Amino acid sequence: MAKVVIMGGGVSGHTAASFLKKWLGKKHEVIVITPNSQWNWIPSNIWVGVGEMSKEEVVFPLAPVYAKAGIDYRQAKAVSIHPEGKDGDDTPFITIEYTGQEKAGQQDEIAYDYLINATGPKLNFDATPGLGNGQGQMGEHTVSVCTADHAIHANHELEKCIEKMKSGERQRFLIGTGHGMCTCQGAAFEYIFNIEHKLKEVGVRDMADITFISNESFLGDFGMGGIHFNMGGFATSSKVFAESLYAERGMDWIIGCHVNKVEAGKVHYELLDGSMGEKEFDFAMLIPPFAGVGLKAYAKDGSDITDTIIAPNGFMKVDANYNAGSYENWKASDWPSTLQNPIYKNMFAIGIAFAPPHTISKPMSSPNGTPINPTPPRTGMPSAMMGKAVAQSIVDMINGADAPTHTANMSEMGAACVASAGKGLFSGTAAAMTVYPIVPDFEKYPGVGRDMNGTTGELGLAAHWVKHILHHLFLWKAKLRPGWTLIPE
């Protein structure tokens, strides 16, 4: 009987665990370790953040779903990996610390035959002074939509601003990235447009000054080096597409920006040209940079081997080319395919947890040496596809394959992204984008890096319907309801 342990129960880990249990059946064990008691459909948090959805509409408890599926669920955080076992026992194991199930604080060891790291990001608020509270959590000066609880708080603060505007007091909104190395510009993009849409709906848009602040060197970079969409016979840059949306709605932007300090009502920042600036605000949502969750690794003799399997950013090394050198030498083939750790062949990392070989966007720094460039996004579709591919590989390896049999390479797969610009059955709009491949391949697709037959974008009500339907479909799928396997990742 094989034991497969998945650390993390987000989109990627939950997908892997669900398929593993379905394919392995009762003969083998599948164990999920996650500190959360609930699963969150993160893309809809922006709607919670503007009061268009409740928390209950975007989360559900994991325990009953896993119990029904026969998955062993531990509400705990993974602390360390021991891939060689310990003195007197070669069985690899991880150490965990419970965060619930009436065992909070208790530690345990979980042995494994195969391990999947799907721990996702640590929201590194403290990377920017004032953005965090100094203890790893969000500070008091800004809001966030990274979690459902954060989004609830964000909406409360938004409502206070709306009341002020209704009584004639102008409000300044600042939305974007809170550090020079952030990812997830798409989430900030969605949130700023949903705020603008909300303010229009409640009749106070003319009392608001709205500014987007981002580490992108151009609007529409999205951490992907920008995208060229096939639109009306042109290969249209996402820069034009994005600027058009902001300009039409009367929103300003500050780009190439590293926010280096946040205080009450003000951010301080540095730009790519080395100049410094400040921006005052009444309401600010700034995405924090991501880091790995802080896993440690130890050899059989107890020595620290974290550096051998975890990159300096805290993400796990996989079958990527980490020696690609400078931007001019980067290739699509630098990106990992099997997501298998190169040293410990029974270990994999998926979703945000794997260490990318480098950024997708061109690395840039100010003349002061401050790095200011987006880091690579890992959105829902590729994260889930990685989970499924690794699950398939592990099943085949349990059944005798000596190497992974399935791949999920971001330079060989596409992503469908739907970015909301406001919710409403007849008034809402969204940008529906297909991007193929996610990581541009300038050798295969010269000039634009992507297949113009598969890379498209449009804004309209239909895309909003798609996003809302996907909300329901993916929650149905995650709850493992009848037919869940028919819903593609």
Partner 1 sequence: MATEHIKHIKPYSPQFGTMIPMGTQKFLRTCIIYQLYRFIAINIRMTILILKSHH
Residue 460 touching partner 1 (CB under 8 A):
yes
Residue 193 touching partner 1 (CB under 8 A):
no
200: how many CB neighbours lie within 10 A of its CB? 15
Could you give the CA distance from residue 128 to residue 141 in angstroms, rounded to a whole number?
12
Residue 80 touching partner 1 (CB under 8 A):
no
Could you give the CA distance from residue 17 to residue 19 in angstroms, rounded to a whole number?
6
Minimum distance from residue 475 beta carbon to partner 1 (Å): 18
Minimum distance from residue 212 beta carbon to partner 1 (Å): 11
Which residue matches tokens 């039409």?
248
Residue 448 touching partner 1 (CB under 8 A):
no
Crossing angle of helices 11-24 and 380-398, rounded to 10°: 30
Minimum distance from residue 4 beta carbon to partner 1 (Å): 21
Cα–Cα distances (Å) from 116 to 108, 152, 409, 477, 487, in that order, read 18, 31, 17, 21, 23
264: how many CB neighbours lie within 10 A of its CB? 10
Q: What is the identity of the amino acid at 149?
A: D
Instruction: Give the one residue of 120, 356, 380, 414 binding partner 1; rule: CB under 8 A.
Output: 414
Q: Could you tell me which stretch among 138-146, 186-194, 281-289, 414-422 binds partner 1 (CB under 8 A)? A: 414-422
Minimum distance from residue 71 beta carbon to partner 1 (Å): 23
Nearer to partner 1, 16 or 293 (CB): 16
Residue 434 touching partner 1 (CB under 8 A):
yes
Residue 202 touching partner 1 (CB under 8 A):
no
Residue 340 touching partner 1 (CB under 8 A):
no
Could you give the CA distance from residue 456 to residue 248 in angstroms, rounded to a whole number?
21
Minimum distance from residue 247 beta carbon to partner 1 (Å): 4
Instruction: Give the one residue of 243, 271, 294, 365 binding partner 1; rule: CB under 8 A.
Output: 243
User: Which one-letter DSSP state was computed for residue 366?
Assistant: -
Residue 64 touching partner 1 (CB under 8 A):
no
Nearer to partner 1, 247 or 343 (CB): 247
Nearer to partner 1, 124 or 337 (CB): 337
Residue 209 touching partner 1 (CB under 8 A):
no
With left for phi above 0 and alpha for psi between -120 and 50, is residue 314 left, alpha or beta? left
Instruction: Give the one residue of 93, 212, 253, 283 binding partner 1; rule: CB under 8 A.
Output: 253
The b/e string for 55-93 (b: 16+ C-beta within 10 A; e otherwise) is bebbbeebeebbeeeebbbbbbbbbbbbbbebeeeeebb
**Which residue spans within 59-185 are E strands per DSSP?**
59-61, 72-82, 93-98, 107-111, 114-117, 122-123, 171-177
Q: Could you tell me which stretch among 16-24, 51-59, 258-266, 381-389 binds partner 1 (CB under 8 A)? A: 381-389
Q: Do the Cβ atoms of 28 and 1 come closer than 8 Å?
A: yes
Binding residues for partner 1, total number by CB under 8 A: 38
Could you give the CA distance from residue 55 to residue 439 in angstroms, rounded to a whole number?
33
Q: Which helix (H) or strand (E) holds 403?
A: none
Q: Could you tell me which stretch among 311-319, 360-368, 452-460, 473-481 binds partner 1 (CB under 8 A)? A: 452-460
| Contact residues: partner 1, CB under 8 A | 240, 243-244, 246-248, 250, 252-253, 381, 385, 389, 406-408, 412-416, 426-427, 429, 432, 434, 436, 454, 456, 458-463, 465-466, 488-489
